[in-house]
A = this chain, B = another copy of it.
Amino acid sequence: MKIGRYLFEEYLDVVKSFHGFAAPGVVIGGIMVDFALEHMPEGVLFNALCETSNCLPDAIQLLTPCTIGNGWLTVNGVGLFALSLYDKSEGRGVRVFLDPKKLELYPEIRNWLFKLKPKSEQNRDLLLEQIQEAGRNICGIQHIRIMPDYLKKHSKGAISTCAKCGEAYPQNNGNLCKNCKGESRYTDNVKISMKDGMDL
């Protein structure tokens, strides 16, 4: 069994190195990405949509040119274990999903997907064995088309210097950057005191 250009065991190592450990979700995700890639016409420039932020985005980033930082991978919050690859320009492509109806023969995968056992009681070796055995048999695949609105590129527009913190920010966010307008995730006291020149 191959996942992308990797043998199954090699892929486990690639996942460990990027994701930190051979998470079942990134392993199943690899099988799903591989399945989707095979159904994309050769030479098409494609983007990816990932319907969960758990694990699956890393399989996409490892096996396709699509990453968070290059903008070709979008993660939306619908929370399904599914991904789509689609033509950047007109939105047609395929969606691969994990199909609960196909898990009867793979109880450990079902336990994992539906969180039927606490993590400490899951049998990780058995789970990986069942994933390898199942391969694409637990997946469904569909033709999809992305809504045209989601194909548009959204430019940040002009960049200004924030009058308060002095950093570069998208001008269409208003007269100050979002951090200085109160959207910062930092506790105020620390942020402000450091902005007053207490660089490390």
Contact = CB atoms under 8 A, between A and B. Distances in A.
Interface of A: 18-20, 23, 25-26, 29, 39, 49, 51, 53-59, 61, 65, 67-72, 75-82, 84, 91, 94-95, 97-101, 113-115, 140-147, 150, 156, 158-159, 161, 166-170, 173, 177-179, 183-187, 190-191, 194-195, 198-200
Given A82-B167, A159-B115, A179-B80, A186 B146 contact: yes
A69 B56 contact: yes
A168 B80 contact: yes
A195 B67 CA distance: 28
Contact of A75 (B20, B61, B68): B68
A106 to B, nearest CB: 13
